[in-house]
Amino acid sequence: QYNIWDWGIRKRNVEVAHLSRDIQENTLTQNLLEVNAAINTLMLNIHRIQKSLVLNQELLASEEQTYHTLETQYREGKVAYLDLITGLNSLLDAKIQFYSTYFEALRNKAKHSYYKGKLYETISSS
């Protein structure tokens, strides 16, 4: 049933199969490295955001205290209206910065759950 040309065809098919396997292994390795890099970046972002969130929370508390002091002094006539508005603007900026950081922390928490494979469990339990 076999002739002399079959040996070359079968050998080439085996070589193609080996090369295809090597390509698939390289693709899987590359995907694994990309996921590892994404996870490392995510963990760095989580640590950075945790520190930023604490600092923004302290800043927000400080700005709230400052605004309440300015408001009291404005009612007593010791501070000009422009100073009160500037204090309110600073308070609003601090709130925006805090909530932006908080939202980014929640987004990174969802990514962390995604990489752990528990995204849907986390969503359904919330």
Instruction: List, for residues 73-98, the tens digit of each pLDDT value.
Output: 999 999 999 999 999 999 999 999 99
pLDDT higher at 67 or 2: 67
Query: What are the tokens at 29?
Result: 């390795």
Residues 6+ apart with CB under 8 A from 97: 56, 59, 60
Percentages helix, strand, coil for the chain (3-state, rounded to 5) are: 90, 0, 10
Nearest CA among 89, 99, 85 for reference residue 56: 99
Query: What are the tokens at 37?
Result: 């890099």
Whether the model pTM is above 0.85: no
pLDDT at 126: 61
| Residue pLDDT, tens place only, 9-41 | 777 888 999 999 999 999 999 999 998 998 899
Nearest CA among 6, 102, 3, 30 for reference residue 59: 102
- Predicted confidence band of residue 2 (pLDDT cuts 50, 70, 90): low
